[in-house]
A and B are shown apart, each in its own frame.
Chain A
Amino acid sequence: MGRIPKAYLINRLVTLVLTILIAATIIWIIPRLSPVDPAEIALGRMAAGAGAVANSEEILAQLRANMGIDQPFLVQYFKYITGALVFDFGLSTAAFPTPVSTLIMNALPWTLGLMILSLLITFFIGNLLGALMVWDRSPKLVRVAIPVAMVFTSIPPILSGLLLMWIFAAKLQWFPLTGAYGLFVEPSWTWAFVQSVLHHGFLPALSIVIVTFGFWALGMRGLMIGVQGEDYVKLAEAKGLKPRYILYRYMIRNAILPQITAFALKIGLLIAGQVLVERIFAYNGMGKLLYDAILNQDFPVIQGVSYVIILITALSVFLVDLLYPFIDPRIRHEAG
């Protein structure tokens, strides 16, 4: 903690709490600005499915009570905000009476596993490749990666997913088409289960990796070009330091700081980011949960998932802020 003044830490903690509180309030307000009554929607869904609905007034009243929207706004808000502090977002309206927190806890590990793994892989491969694109001692083959990276970056992950699915799952049948683990494997800390998860997660992860590594590579390339002409790099060369040492210690380490900020922001976004990949692979993570909740107008789930996204984003940025001085010794936190 030596490099982080106490006042700075308190300041950032207060900002963090305020950010989460304001964001949580906004995500509570937005659905309520809609003229649509979620109970009416649920009733409409019944009518859309099979015709007339008997006792519709009674059903409507029951649905409103179940959803808690028959209470005054202030009561609803107070319940929501106090519940959010302990991750109690109430009950799902589409999967009533399942608690939203249960749905989130069922989905979150899958998304975290798939997305964080993909993000780490793309972050390291992408940044390394971006750095090597600029380094004058890189093999010529690496320079070819620029157009390749640009092409892959412009492909939506759903397309790469479908292509990989068609080749490796439908045609070659090396990988399964859907799901997060095998049909006949029960979730447990067993080797069979881990093996099945890796097997099922490979294609979804690859479909994300091949279209996102270009983002990091091209970004890093731009940053490296800026660093390349700096005096300290020229001085290091003049001192006769090894080129690979200069690359890692002088160039990459100085260029990578904005990428780390981007990494922190991406952690939050990735929670909901790959909705379509999760959908086509029937990979039931947070993106799919949010997608289904929006389709079903399941407001408690939408609020719960959004809250978790905000929380993770805010915490990631907070942690990266604290970690900056350790990554770049030139940075000092100043109190206030």
Chain B
Amino acid sequence: MNYRKTLLATSALALTIFSGAVLAQDVARENTVIFDLDRTIQDPENFNWMTPGTKRMHGAHQTMWEPLFILNYNTGELDPWLAMGFESNADSTEFTVTLRDGVEWSDGEAFNADDVVFTTNIALTNEDISSREASTIKAQVASVEKVDDLTARFTLNAPNPRFIVENFGVRIFGSFLIMPEHIWAGQDAATFTFNPPIGTGPYTFSSAASNRAIWDRNDDWWGAKTGFMDLPAPERVIFLESGGEESRAQLIASNQLDAAQNVTIGTFEAVQAQNPNVIAWHTDYPYAASDPCARQLEINTTVAPWDNANLRKAVANIIDRSQIVNVAYEGTTEASRTMFAQFGSMAPFIDAVVEAGHGLPASADVAAGQALIEGEGWARDGDYYTKDGETLSVDIHVNSASTEYTRTIDVIVEQLQRAGIDAKAVPVENGVFWGEVLPFGAYEMSYSWLSCGSVNEPWASMGRYTVKDVVAVGERSPGFNNTSRWDGPAAEAYSAIVDDIANRQLGDAEIPGLVAEAYQHLDAEMPFIPLVQAAKLLPMNTTYWTGWPTADNYYNHPFFWWNHTHQIIHNLEPAN
């Protein structure tokens, strides 16, 4: 009898637990799009994007907060969104932005220039805010004024033709987001939690917990009412923390996720074998899309013997980029030809550099590299080159946080060793790498992506290696710029040209030629060696939704944790 009771109780418990699987949800799966979230929402009740933490990428700036413009990575054009356009004065110190008519916050209040002026002034006056976008506004803007309800004028501290794209165009990850004055007025922006949040986007906040955020479509969205755009097809958008590559693979293979964060090629192929509806940016190798931060070998130009430009150039010759692609990245990326990320919008500048003969080959020319070393008086003695009893050696610092980084450096170490340089990898912990090694020049060579910046014009990357940012080893490089501490006549010549580019209007026909002219100095002195493009292999599931961004459907890039994801969601169509 006891056994029977136990059996009954166990069965009842099992039924209770199993029946949880059929809990009702009021929006059908086929009307819901589920994005992967690669981190915990530590403070799900805080929606103040101006303070650090996950306060945007859990769907807030992909569904609820819209940007003024969205940069198209393929064409380099700024797609108007909340703004219709902008004008600047001749020296790019004053920008007048025209807002779109009819935009409304989700509570029905009009979105207008008052909101733009109010939010900008928060960044200019509140000393306690430390977000990147607010700091950039603070550094660049002298004042902002309302011209009329749909026009705001920014006066800058210094000329900057890139002002709009840098601050309001979703250049990389996010943009300076405009907040509703009628909600934020009177609040301390450093501590205000903005809960419940509102935005102008086609989705409103439904609920959030530490592992997910849910956004429901606002059928009264201003964009559909004004004819700007149709309502997006998904009725609900969920950002769900997957818990790591193993779990995200299983979630997307079993159609419980529509777009997943970065996975390795092995995982992707395993997922695709189970679920053929899963696609990536490319239909075949390299599968992955490139992100804006191309990988490079940073060289401290103040440390002997690597203060010798010919030795740095020798290393550039010895490195075989195609081998890095094949071994370290398993074929999921491509070799860099220049310092730039290889987007369609960057093609004019990359082509100019390559046509001028400063492009990098994918394969190595070890003999040429060794000739340069020998030309500097080093002689091969057994395995390594020596000079005056000293072995030619180098320590390469690498962030140990990812196997992508360490595997790349392992390949480079092997290539240098074979060519006669006693190279050694020095893996260091993430915080030490970014906090101590890179900014203070505490390395000989290091693996990084500090050219990161240019996605539609060349200055953002090139401007990071000018002589104005040179500091001594032991002092912190301003803004992580020129951590190579590249200085001297060639660097000065380079800087003069780059400073000229800085003040030219975007699209100036002379810029590609100037880029090539400046690049000759980089090519001759190699303060850093471009390696490969950064790869993001993002599985996208076509079981419920089609219209994902791909190389064949390139309306923009696929990084769905960025502010431009509004475009992705608007392009999604039901699969059936």
Contact = CB atoms under 8 A, between A and B. Distances in A.
Contact of A199 (B20, B127, B210): B20
A196 B20 contact: yes
Interface in B219-272: 238, 240-244, 246-247, 250-251, 253-254, 256
B119 to A, nearest CB: 17
Most buried by B among A56, A94, A289: A56
A160 interface: no
A229 interface: no
A96 B52 contact: yes
B132 A281 contact: no
Contact of B247 (A42, A182, A281): A281
B23 A192 contact: yes
A51 B127 contact: no
A98 interface: yes
Nearest to B454: A51
A52 B439 CA distance: 12
B244 A279 contact: yes
Interface string A103-126: 100110000000000000000000
A14 B243 CA distance: 42
B12 interface: no
Nearest to B461: A51
Interface in B1-39: 16-21, 23-26, 39
Contacts of B128: 62, 66
Given A51-B453, A94-B42, A185-B23, A178 B243 contact: yes
B135 A97 contact: no
B26 A282 contact: no
A53 B138 CA distance: 12
Given A177-B251, A178-B241, A183-B214, A49 B173 contact: yes
A54 interface: yes
Given A94-B52, A183-B214, A284-B211, A58 B135 contact: yes
A59 B476 CA distance: 14
Contact of B42 (A37, A58, A103): A103
Contacts of A173: 21, 254
Given A35-B436, A59-B130, A284-B40, A196 B254 contact: no
A93 B173 CA distance: 21
A302 to B, nearest CB: 12
B42 A51 contact: no
B431 A44 contact: yes
Contacts of A96: 51-53
Interface in B191-217: 191, 207, 209-212, 214
Interface stretch (A163-171, A231-239, A245-253, A320-328): A163-171
Contacts of A199: 17-21
A138 to B, nearest CB: 18
A51 B172 contact: yes
Interface residues of B, number: 76
A201 to B, nearest CB: 9
Contact of B173 (A50, A106, A179): A50
A111 B480 CA distance: 40
Contacts of B136: 54-55
A50 B132 contact: yes
Nearest to A169: B250
A37 B431 CA distance: 9
A280 B434 contact: no
Interface in A147-179: 162, 165-166, 169-171, 173-179
A53 B172 CA distance: 12
A180 interface: yes
Interface in A12-39: 35-38
Contacts of A97: 46, 51, 190-191
Most buried by B among A51, A66, A166: A51
A182 B20 contact: yes
Nearest to A285: B210
B251 A178 contact: yes
A28 to B, nearest CB: 18
Interface residues of A, number: 77
Nearest to A46: B132
Given A62-B130, A97-B51, A177-B254, A54 B480 contact: no
Given A58-B135, A280-B244, A95 B42 contact: yes
B250 A62 contact: no
B438 to A, nearest CB: 7
A284 B20 contact: no
Contacts of B210: 106-107, 284
Contact of B480 (A37, A52, A63): A52
A96 B131 CA distance: 11
Given A97-B191, A184-B23, A279-B244, A54 B135 contact: yes
Given A166-B250, A177-B256, A40 B207 contact: no
Contacts of B313: none
A51 to B, nearest CB: 4
Nearest to A180: B211
A66 B24 CA distance: 43
B53 A40 contact: no
Contacts of A102: 43
Given A93-B52, A97-B191, A186 B207 contact: yes
Contacts of B211: 178-180, 282, 284
A108 to B, nearest CB: 12
A95 B42 CA distance: 6
Interface string A54-96: 1111110011001000000000000000000000000011111
A187 B208 CA distance: 11
B479 A47 contact: yes
Contacts of A288: 40
A292 B37 CA distance: 14
Contact of A198 (B20, B39, B247): B20
20 contacts: A40-B435, A41-B431, A47-B450, A47-B479, A48-B449, A53-B479, A53-B480, A94-B42, A95-B42, A97-B191, A98-B46, A103-B42, A170-B251, A174-B18, A177-B254, A178-B241, A199-B19, A280-B247, A284-B241, A292-B42
Given A41-B431, A184-B24, 6 more contacts: A36-B431, A53-B132, A95-B54, A107-B210, A178-B242, A199-B18
Interface of A: 35-38, 40-59, 62-63, 66, 92-98, 102-103, 106-107, 162, 165-166, 169-171, 173-187, 192, 195-196, 198-200, 202, 279-284, 288-289, 292, 295, 297
3 cross-chain pairs, A with B, having the tightest CB-CB distances, nearest first: A44-B434, A199-B20, A282-B243
